[in-house]
């Protein structure tokens, strides 16, 4: 297997995700990805094996999943740090919409998104919350704990659908202060 440079991989991944956002996952072909990213279709298949594997790897690598978790000493501080980090990454609602639609149709993509994108993200959210439990900020028997990852992810997924725009950092701060933290017993 040939090894692409890190810059070339970022270029390929970014181009792939842009195509998914523009055309939709289902309509996008490996031929189109190869042409738009100036790649060989054979290389794409040799390195990733399928369109779903390439798209999931692109999402995983272009995102901020590998960043160190914030540890400000408070749950609110950690959440606000995460909001500030999101300012550095422009949410692409078209990409999110395309992937959300595609996972309903493509079982391979759905499983890959769940296991490689969503589950690591949920684990990161749980780790931030667990630290708050360990510090005594959140009760270990708080009834909202099993739902924290859903509460955390909801505005990112739903805001564009409801409001027609990406959630602004100010909205996310108010949401965490008004919904997530109170659900965890922090007022």
- Per-residue pLDDT, averaged over 141-152, amounts to 94
Higher pLDDT, 5 or 184: 184
Q: What is the pLDDT of residues 75-109, one digit of tens each?
A: 999 999 988 876 544 546 778 888 888 999 999 88
Q: What is the pLDDT of residues 119-135, one digit of tens each?
A: 888 898 999 999 999 99
Distance from C-alpha of 16 to C-alpha of 31, rounded to nearest angstrom: 11
Distance from C-alpha of 1 to C-alpha of 16, rounded to nearest angstrom: 20
- Cβ atoms of residues 155 and 173 within 8 Å: no
Distance from C-alpha of 36 to C-alpha of 120, rounded to nearest angstrom: 30
pLDDT at residue 153, rounded to an integer? 87
pLDDT at residue 90, rounded to an integer? 52
pLDDT at residue 177, rounded to an integer? 96
Residue 110 CB partners (closer than 8 Å, separation 6+): 103, 104
Rg (CA), the chain: 18
Distance from C-alpha of 122 to C-alpha of 138, rounded to nearest angstrom: 18
pLDDT at residue 29, rounded to an integer? 94
Higher pLDDT, 36 or 3: 36
What is the pTM assigned to this prediction? 0.77
Q: What is the pLDDT of residues 12-62, one digit of tens each?
A: 999 999 999 889 899 999 999 999 999 999 999 999 999 999 998 998 887
Q: Please compute, for residue 119, the number of CA atoms within 13 A of its CA located in the half-sphere on the CB side.
A: 8
Residue 174 binned pLDDT confidence (cut-offs 50, 70, 90): very high
Q: Going along the chain, which residue ranges are E strands?
A: none
Other CB atoms closer than 10 Å to residue 57's CB: what's the count? 19
Which of 1-5, 93-97, 108-112 bottoms out in mean pLDDT, i.e. has the lowest?
1-5
């Amino acid at each position: 297997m040939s090894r692409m440079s890190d810059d070339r991989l970022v270029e390929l991944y970014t181009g792939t995700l842009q195509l998914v956002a523009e055309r939709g996952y289902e309509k996008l072909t490996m031929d189109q990805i190869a042409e738009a990213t100036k790649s060989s279709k054979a290389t794409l298949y040799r390195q990733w094996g399928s369109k779903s594997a390439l798209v999931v790897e692109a999402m995983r690598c272009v995102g901020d999943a590998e960043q160190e978790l914030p540890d400000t000493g408070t749950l609110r501080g950690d959440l606000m740090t995460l909001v500030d980090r999101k300012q550095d990454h422009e949410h692409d609602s078209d990409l999110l919409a395309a992937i959300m639609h595609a996972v309903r149709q493509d079982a391979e993509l759905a499983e890959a998104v769940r296991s490689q994108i969503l589950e690591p993200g949920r684990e990161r959210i749980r780790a931030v919350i667990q630290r708050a439990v360990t510090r005594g900020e959140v009760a270990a028997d708080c009834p909202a704990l099993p739902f924290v990852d859903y509460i955390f992810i909801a505005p990112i997924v739903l805001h564009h659908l409801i409001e027609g725009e990406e959630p602004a950092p100010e909205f996310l701060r108010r949401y965490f202060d008004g919904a997530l933290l109170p659900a965890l017993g922090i007022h």
